[in-house]
């Protein structure tokens, strides 16, 4: 895992690239390289920060130059041994044992067609001296980031947005549509930009930049098409596919550890990894008792201990009791985009602890909820159809008013059922796409129209239309559950979970691997029907059935617990002064983006316990800090 940066056809390319790569030191503390290639028709500069995982020798440092090709590559190719053998049989001679050289030689042998043969996570740039062209490519499911900024006759790119901002801030402008999307979702969907003109290379695609200023490109892996094909075919042996993916994700020349939350997904990954490597160690988190009480959180560490004991592996417990007032600004900077999900703090602190123990690589169970229908919103959206069979007078005249009046906190203890009921009623009466969006976003359309600058009404509708377009592009899937899972894999997984995992782990100079986020596992997931995923009241039913070969029933059948933090305790207690001093009189209010009266009502309802607005307030506070960072870097106002 590494950081890449580069420029193509830029007169100031070397200066720009050096600034960018300097800002990415956390992504690769083991080596740094910058290579400038200049001829009468071409100006290329490629840079690389290395976190050494496979082939630890200096020969595998990058940019890697070999016989006219130059590669700067971020990622891991899990099937590189098989590809290496195939290339060797074709006469290729290797000078390293790295997966990097396999990527380079595969490109030489097969061109862009090599991408569909790769099984891994990657984002890379490769320059061909023969043609003078530069090609950028990204993995199928968007695990590894690549930010691209077309500039003049060429392009500038980097693994993180902050690298481009550091080098070119005064040329850039904040995108107000991106800020709206962040306010709605609390993260940034792949189709939106935080900074105007700086886009993420879409997952499963490649783009070639040529000397004459033209471009070419293609889609080598399309989630919608793969889901459609899988749904039309036979169901796949899920247990075999998942076990195979975990085994491939263990390829490494340094020790590999695992996250173990005590939930189903991390327990599956850890159990399968321990079967391959009984010496593997695991990391989990625990919270202060008073925070758990206000949050009404289950004790996940209890189940993590049980799972570790069952496997006979060592478990490292990290208590989460941070100085959140100091940590929040750091987290906002790390997350790079305006992402307001505090779960990223868990990842950062666990990766920090693992790195302090000498661990560079961690496995995660991320992705299973999106692919197999594991989120509460999936079940809640199915439940809403049944709820609408209740007579309307009873729904609107009795149930809704009663739930609305209930407090979300009583006696210093959070009431989860009330929080969930209030949330459920915000979308239970809506149509499928709108209900799904409302079930996991922070605001309704009317909420946004009241909270934000009235002049942004058209942009608000554009953001909502964008969600509708993605959800409607559903591969003709016949069931509700799989339509939700497909939308999640294309938006929520990429825009939030993979994004914060990459930034938080790389801030600690560690690599997190995600065996469920794999093209073969993806195809297997969509070979299953929605009823295989949610059977009655049982979510992830097919995954649970497969897991009984590896995981105790007590873990499989326990209630669902999110990878959360004591957010309500932080917002209610720790962050009060920051909210009053930074957010309420902040730049978002001063510029008119936020309307002061609706903001004050959000905060007041949270503090009185009338409503749970902790996510909304955390997101707005994060957005305020992000906006200030961008402006301080010279980026123009929205």
Sign of CA dihedral 392, 393, 397, 399: negative
Q: Which of 317-326, 365-374, 490-499 has the lowest mean pLDDT?
A: 317-326
Stretch 575-579: mean pLDDT, rounded? 95
What pLDDT score was predicted for residue 39?
A: 87
What does residue 215 show for φ and ψ, rounded to 5 degrees? -135, 160
572 DSSP 8-state letter: I
CA distance 617 to 442: 10
Tell me the sheet residues that pair with 363.
258, 513
**493 Cα distance to chain centroid:** 5
- pTM for this one? 0.95
Q: pLDDT tens digits, residue range 219-261?
A: 999 999 999 999 999 999 999 999 999 999 999 999 999 999 9
- DSSP secondary-structure letter at 528? S
pLDDT, mean of residues 551-577: 86
Q: Do the beta carbons of residue 519 and residue 116 sit within 8 Å?
A: no
SS3 91: coil
For range 542-554, the mean pLDDT: 97
- Rounded to whole angstroms, the Cα distance separating 269 from 546 reads 12
Closest C-alpha among 513, 529, 543 to residue 477: 529
pLDDT band at 608 (very low <50, low <70, confident <90, very high): confident
String of DSSP letters for 383-404: HHHHHTTS-HHHIIIIIHHHHH
205-220 pLDDT, tens digit each: 999 999 999 999 999 9
Cα→Cα distances 115→90, 141, 585, Å: 18, 12, 49
- Domains recognised in the chain with CATH numbers: 2-221 (3.60.20.10), 225-373+493-556 (3.40.50.620)
What phi and psi values does residue 429 have, to the nearest 5 degrees?
-95, 0
Q: Which residues does 388 contact at the CB level (< 8 Å), separation at least 6? A: 395, 428, 429
Average pLDDT score over residue span 180-199: 98
- The pLDDT value given to residue 414: 65
């Amino acid at each position: 895992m590494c950081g890449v940066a580069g420029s193509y056809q830029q007169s100031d390319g070397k200066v720009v690239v050096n600034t960018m790569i300097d800002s990415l030191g956390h992504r690769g503390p083991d080596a740094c390289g910058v290579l400038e290639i200049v001829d009468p028709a071409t100006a290329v500069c490629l840079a690389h920060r290395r976190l050494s995982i496979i082939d630890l020798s200096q020969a595998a440092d990058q940019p890697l130059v070999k016989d006219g090709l130059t590669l700067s590559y971020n990622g891991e190719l899990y099937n590189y041994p098989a590809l290496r053998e195939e290339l060797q049989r074709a006469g290729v001679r290797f000078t390293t044992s790295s997966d990097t050289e396999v990527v380079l030689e595969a490109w030489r042998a097969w061109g862009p067609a090599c991408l569909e043969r790769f099984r891994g996570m990657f984002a890379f740039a490769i320059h061909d001296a023969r043609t003078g062209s530069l090609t950028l490519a990204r993995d199928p499911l968007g695990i590894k980031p690549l930010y691209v900024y077309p500039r003049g006759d060429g392009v500038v790119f980097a693994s993180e947005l902050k690298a481009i901002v550091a080098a070119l801030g005064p040329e850039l402008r904040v995108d107000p549509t991106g800020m709206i999307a962040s306010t709605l979702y609390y993260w940034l969907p792949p189709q939106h930009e935080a900074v105007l003109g700086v886009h993420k290379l879409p997952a499963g695609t490649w783009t070639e930049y040529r000397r004459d200023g033209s471009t070419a490109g293609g889609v080598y892996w399309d989630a919608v098409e793969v889901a459609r094909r899988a749904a039309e075919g036979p169901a796949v042996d899920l247990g075999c596919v998942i076990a195979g993916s975990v085994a491939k994700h263990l390829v490494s020349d340094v020790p590999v550890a695992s996250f173990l939350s005590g939930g189903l997904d991390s327990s599956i990954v850890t159990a399968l990894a321990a079967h391959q490597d009984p010496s593997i160690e695991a990391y989990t988190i625990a919270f202060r008792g008073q925070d758990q009480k206000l949050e009404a959180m289950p004790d996940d560490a209890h189940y993590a201990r049980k799972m570790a004991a069952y496997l006979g592996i060592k478990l490292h417990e990290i208590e989460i009791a941070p100085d959140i007032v100091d940590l929040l600004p750091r987290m906002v900077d790390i997350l790079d985009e305006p992402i307001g999900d505090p779960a990223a703090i868990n990842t950062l602190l666990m990766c920090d602890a693992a790195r302090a123990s000498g661990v560079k690589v961690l496995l995660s169970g991320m992705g299973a909820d999106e692919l197999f229908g594991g989120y509460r919103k999936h079940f809640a959206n199915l439940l809403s159809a049944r709820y609408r069979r209740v007579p309307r007078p009873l729904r609107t005249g009795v149930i809704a008013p009663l739930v609305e009046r209930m407090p979300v906190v009583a006696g210093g203890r959070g009431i989860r059922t009330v929080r969930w009921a209030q949330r459920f009623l915000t979308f239970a009466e809506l149509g499928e796409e709108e209900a799904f969006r409302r079930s996991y976003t922070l605001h309704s359309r009317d909420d946004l129209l009241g909270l934000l600058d009235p002049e942004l009404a058209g942009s608000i509708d554009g953001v909502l239309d964008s969600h509708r377009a993605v959800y409607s592009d559903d591969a003709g899937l016949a069931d509700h559950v799989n339509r939700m899972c497909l939308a999640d894999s294309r938006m929520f997984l990429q825009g939030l979970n993979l994004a914060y995992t990459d930034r938080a782990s790389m801030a600690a100079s560690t690599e997190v691997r995600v065996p469920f986020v794999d093209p073969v596992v993806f195809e297997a997931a969509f070979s299953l029907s929605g009823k295989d995923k949610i059977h009655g009241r049982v979510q992830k039913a097919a995954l649970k059935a497969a897991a009984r070969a590896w995981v105790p029933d007590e873990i499989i059948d326990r209630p669902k617990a999110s990878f959360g933090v004591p957010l309500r305790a932080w917002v209610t207690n720790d962050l009060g002064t920051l909210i009053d001093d930074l957010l309420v009189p902040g730049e978002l209010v001063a510029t008119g983006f936020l309307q002061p009266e609706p903001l004050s009502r959000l905060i007041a309802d949270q503090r009185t316990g009338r409503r749970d607005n902790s996510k909304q307030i955390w997101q707005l506070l994060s957005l305020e800090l992000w906006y200030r960072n961008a402006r301080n870097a010279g980026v123009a106002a929205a």
